Structure 1
Amino acid sequence: MATETVLPVIDISQADRAAVGKQLLDAASTLGFVFIEGSGFTADEVDVMFQLSKDFFAQPFEAKQEFQISAENRGYSCLGREVLDTAVGKSDPKEVFNFGQFLGGKAIQPLPQLFAQSEQTLDDFTRKAHAVCHKIQNLLALALEIDPAAGGETWFSDRHDLSKFSGSILRMLYYPALQGTELAGDPTADIRAGAHTDFGSMTLLFQRDGQAALEVLSPVTKQWTPIPALPARDSAACPPIVLNIADQLSFWSAGLLKSAVHRVKFPSLAIEGGKDRYSMAYFCHPADETLLEPMPSPLVQSRTGRGANAQETVITAKEHLARRLAAAYGWKK
């Protein structure tokens, strides 16, 4: 690709699955972020979803607020509602809408009319995103040499069964354009989503060309590294998707797989041009009752005293998520 990037670009549709799995493991065990191609998503599928997002966030506040976010992490969150960087305690100037699971093609939450009219489209997109995560999970399990007698390649994907309740979320995000006056006297005003790690096992991030803003804190250089929004090689395919490892997968692997700190910071060109930013994220979580116990991988079992290999009491994926949401929204656990 013409655009330079610090992240590798991995085509998960390649025939040599062992080689792809190793590439994914190398990326997941260093920065924890990678670009994914060969997902099967088309440009049209992603464009339709971004248009739905834009149409929803353009509605009056009162209409959106009728579906305000619940303790189950579903619904609309307004500007300043979410605090991702709990150490700083500053709320994020962004709007989001979270979709929980779709069971039998139907959302398990009330939907605004705009989304209810496109329920099948939303269900299809969510299922496709989950299937991409399953494919990546199987490739990682292959590279991790998970004991076949214990589940082998499907050890992760079996624990991410979409027919069971989980914390998996499809999130639409809107970052309103900044004005120059908003930056006066506040050096952090251009940070639109505070520094954080993701709560689940892995995240797929869909970005718009020309709306780059994601930054990752490199565990090597300890510097914030901008991640571009890459264009697609093929006009019919969606642009490369950003994949990042999240907390539960890092915990499971005793820290072998990295859940890196990242944030959204408006670049100067976006501020000068008065550009909004839209993105979509699919947060893939294990089924609620999944135990975050040591995984049967020789690469992980040797890492004693860390993550799942060090815990005295095994917790479930649901318990882990509840703790993180309580911190982000100020809810009681």
Structure 2
Amino acid sequence: MSGIAAIPVIDISAEGTDEAQIAKELVDAAVEYGFVYVKNTGRDISVEQVENAFNVSRALFSSPLEDKQRCKIEKNNRGWSGMHTETLDPKTQRVGDFKEGFNFGDFVNGKATQPIPRSIEPHQAEIAAFGEACHTLCRRLMLLFGIGLSADPPDFFTKAHSPDEPSGSTLRFLYYPPPSATPEAKDSDVRAGAHSDYGSVTLLFRLKGQAGLEILTPDNKTWAPVPVCPPGTENDPSPPILVNIGDLLSYWTNGLLRSTVHRVTFGGPGGANGAGPTTGESTADPRYSIAYFCHPVATTRLTAVPSERVEKFQGSLDDAEAGNPYAERKVLTADEHLQMRLQATYLQLYSGEGK
């Protein structure tokens, strides 16, 4: 077992910050860890928006089963997925993940363009606004990454993430039942299998006291728990937003930015079942989290970013222990890569058994 993950905390919203310095710190964290905490002081996403989103999530997952099944996930990656539907690490998992999820796609004039449970229909405009705020923050992070990499032009990534064109960007609500509700789970099981994320960056929102997330350390040998509130943020108005690099941003940078493998465990002491929760956190209760997976426009070709630093780093994708282990040495579009990963994750859906 490793100690807690040594992930940097960066305040990108503080008054008088040096943008170039913040950009450098973000890139350094992405290179070494693939994860970074961003302090959420309310400038980008308000504390109230986050609290409201979690309230809607609780209402969604407590909806009657038949209402959720009416919104079952389809091959467009939109909708509800029940227990064991998703298998994030099919090579090692005995059964699918011990969680439920709900993926939101586009909203038009504050209305969902997909079936949603009746319990959350009155909250569609709130969900839409929260997703838009997440995308805006992601585009700001993309600009900072471009600046930190000395990309030419600096807004290379930002332009590829236009909010006005179709993409795989997804707002996802997640619910993990408490261990007491899953007595069939074995010591070798995990709540969410080891995986890297599919898109450019992910924003992860969590609730204080709810443990379970672990990352594979840079040496790729040990798992380290990722506390909801790292040291120094315990008294912040809300936990910092955890940002991680996805496969596509790693691919775009020839593996310079790390797409780190992570998982969610039941929190047992060591072994496959987890490194154990950090102080003040527990896995005994239900766990809720919200993830925003930011993807580039679907037709974007994933050629290397025009950056001298990235060019000097060419070749690292051939090393299975560096950069993104899922990337292939060929030019894909963003949508082609997403479809490849979805087919590996939703085994039943794509085999015809989940229709």
TM-score, scaled to structure 2: 0.84
With over 3 angstroms needed to count, the CA separation of the structure-2 counterparts of 1:276 and 1:154, relative to structure 1, is same
SS at match of 1:282: strand
In 1: Cα distance, 2:234 partner to 2:45 partner:
13
List per-residue Cα deviations over 1:176-224 (Å, max 9, x = no partner). Answer: 001298377x3223x1000000000110000000002100001226210
1:317 aligns with 2:334: yes
SS at match of 1:117: helix
Q: Which residue of 2 aligns with 1:59?
A: 63
Opposite residue 300 of structure 1, the aligned amino acid is V
In 2: Cα distance, 1:176 partner to 1:95 partner:
8
With over 3 angstroms needed to count, the CA separation of the structure-2 counterparts of 1:102 and 1:234, relative to structure 1, is farther
SS at match of 1:130: helix
With over 3 angstroms needed to count, the CA separation of the structure-2 counterparts of 1:8 and 1:304, relative to structure 1, is closer
In 2: Cα distance, 1:332 partner to 1:159 partner:
32
With over 3 angstroms needed to count, the CA separation of the structure-2 counterparts of 1:59 and 1:49, relative to structure 1, is same
In 2: Cα distance, 1:233 partner to 1:254 partner:
36
Opposite residue 98 of structure 1, the aligned amino acid is N
Q: Is the 1:103–1:163 contact (alpha carbons within 8 Å) kept by the matching residues of 2?
A: no
Q: Which residue of 1 aligns with 2:245?
A: 245
With over 3 angstroms needed to count, the CA separation of the structure-2 counterparts of 1:252 and 1:49, relative to structure 1, is same
Q: CA RMSD in A?
A: 2.5
Q: How many residues align?
A: 322
1:290 aligns with 2:313: no
List per-residue Cα deviations over 1:268-312 (Å, max 9, x = no partner). Answer: 58898731100000000001001101110001112233559x977
SS at match of 2:172: strand
List per-residue Cα deviations over 1:72-120 (Å, max 9, x = no partner). Answer: 1000000010000021143001000000122343322222223321111
In 2: Cα distance, 1:187 partner to 1:122 partner:
36
Q: Which residue of 2 aligns with 1:217?
A: 216
1:27 aligns with 2:40: no
With over 3 angstroms needed to count, the CA separation of the structure-2 counterparts of 1:314 and 1:288, relative to structure 1, is same
In 2: Cα distance, 1:305 partner to 1:129 partner:
32
In 1: Cα distance, 2:220 partner to 2:340 partner:
30
With over 3 angstroms needed to count, the CA separation of the structure-2 counterparts of 1:107 and 1:22, relative to structure 1, is same
In 2: Cα distance, 1:130 partner to 1:272 partner:
30
List per-residue Cα deviations over 1:197-255 (Å, max 9, x = no partner). Answer: 000011000000000210000122621010001175666x4320110000000011000
Q: Which residue of 2 aligns with 1:328?
A: 345
Q: Which residue of 1 aligns with 2:256?
A: 256
SS at match of 1:34: strand
Superposed, 1:27-106 pairs within 5 Å as 27-38=29-40, 40-89=44-93, 90-106=95-111
In 1: Cα distance, 2:97 partner to 2:220 partner:
26
Superposed, 1:263-278 pairs within 5 Å as 263-268=263-268, 274-278=284-288
The ranges of structure 1 where at least 4 consecutive aligned residues each deviate by more than 6 angstroms after the TM superposition are: 269-273
List per-residue Cα deviations over 1:38-91 (Å, max 9, x = no partner). Answer: 453222211111111111111221111110001010000000100000211430
1:133 aligns with 2:138: yes
Q: Which residue of 2 aligns with 1:157?
A: 158
With over 3 angstroms needed to count, the CA separation of the structure-2 counterparts of 1:302 and 1:75, relative to structure 1, is same
In 2: Cα distance, 1:278 partner to 1:24 partner:
27
Q: Is the 1:195–1:261 contact (alpha carbons within 8 Å) kept by the matching residues of 2?
A: yes
Opposite residue 175 of structure 2, the aligned amino acid is Y
In 2: Cα distance, 1:233 partner to 1:224 partner:
23
In 2: Cα distance, 1:62 partner to 1:110 partner:
13
